[in-house]
Amino acid sequence: MRHNEMVYVTPLPVRIWHWLNAFGIVTLCVTGLQIRFPDYVNVFGAYKAAIRLHNTAGTVVSISYTLWIGYYLVVARSLIKLYVPTLEDLKTGIFRQAYFYFLTYFLGKPNPHHSTPDSKFNPMQKAAYLVIMLILLPLVIVSGILLMYVAPLRELFLLLGGIKMLVGSHFLLACCFTAFLFVHIYLATLGHTPLAHFKPMWNGWEEEVIEDDTGDGAGDAHSDPKPERKDMV
């Protein structure tokens, strides 16, 4: 016995941020590719056009990142709760989740994690998003901003070990984002339907499959003030 429940997990500001950010980062990856390999890649015509677009997209991503972190820290105050893995997550959660992705998923077992507004990410997601959002993205933003002002910031470059150090880090970080994108988009299709995770990123509502007899993990959903919406798409 089981039924479906709708849970409101992704507030509007987060959704707007996410798609702005996603669009920005994809633009950055493609323009970045042309900027590094202009003799092989020419997507945007002139080199200058690629650079201008890259700088603009970088600025958009930087601003949207500031808004994102501001929203989670100041308005929603849920950054730590949602994104920092608990000790329990690190000790067992991550392994349980990995075990699911690499084995029990193929056997048709259900996902051990259930999204609720308070615990929207599984332990692996938490760890990955934490690294991406609080370490890699700030680093890539800072290195990118510095690279937009090479001549005026030359002193800083000397302190940081030279322009090559900075360019090299920026490039490797960008490669990490590209790698993350593949994994991220793919994992997002692993819901109970391929689009199940994309819908909440669009309209905020996550569809949860609840095993009535166990009730496990659904407790929070019942205390959710929002009404259940069964047939919402």
Partner 1 sequence: MRMLKKVFWFFVAIVVIATHSGVSYAEMPSAPNDGCMKCHGQPDIAAVARNKSSYIDPVKYSGTTHSIIGCTACHDRVSPGHPRDGYLPPKAVCGDCHGPVNEEYSKSVHGAKARCNDCHNPHEVRLPIFMSGDEINGKCAKCHDSRKTIQSHSKWLPQAELHIDSLLCISCHTSSKEYVISLSIESRTPGSGTAFKMATFAELAVLSNGANISKIIDQNGDNQISLAELRAFNHHLRSRNMRLWGMMTPEVVTHNYQIMVNRWDCSFCHASGSKAMQKSFIVLPGKNGDYTRIPVEKGAILDILYGTPDFYMMGSTRSTALNIIGALIVAAGLSFPVCHGFFRFLTRKNRKEDHHEA
Give the residue with the Cβ less far from ligand HEM, 96 or 184. Answer: 184
Angle at 231 between CA 76 and CA 185, to 5 degrees: 55
- Judged by CB under 8 A, does residue 164 bind partner 1? yes
CA dihedral 58, 68, 190, 109 (to 10 degrees): 150
By C-beta, is 99 or 171 nearer to partner 1? 171
- Read off the tokens for 96: 């349980």
Coil vs helix vs strand at 209: strand
Position 212 contacts partner 1 (CB under 8 A): no
Q: Which residues contact 125 (CB under 8 A, 6 or more apart)?
A: none
Hey, is 210 helix, strand or coil? strand
Within 10 angstroms of residue 140's Cβ, the number of other Cβ atoms is 25
**Residue showing tokens 């030279």:** 162
By CB under 8 A, the count of residues binding partner 1 is 48
Residue bearing tokens 């929603």: 76
Which C-beta is closer to partner 1: that of 23 or that of 171? 171
Please give the residues from 100 up to 159 whose contact with ligand HEM meets the rule CB under 6 A. 120, 125, 129, 132-133
Compute the distance between CA of residue 105 and CA of residue 20 in angstroms, rounded to an integer. Answer: 31
Site for partner 1 in 108-147 (CB under 8 A): 108, 110
In the complex, the residues that contact ligand HEM under the rule CB under 6 A are 10, 14, 18, 21-22, 25-26, 120, 125, 129, 132-133, 177, 180-181, 184-185, 188, 197-198, 201
In the complex, the residues that contact partner 1 under the rule CB under 8 A are 4, 35-39, 46-48, 51-52, 55, 101, 105-108, 110, 150-152, 155, 157-158, 161-165, 167-168, 171-172, 174-176, 178-183, 185-186, 192-193, 207, 209
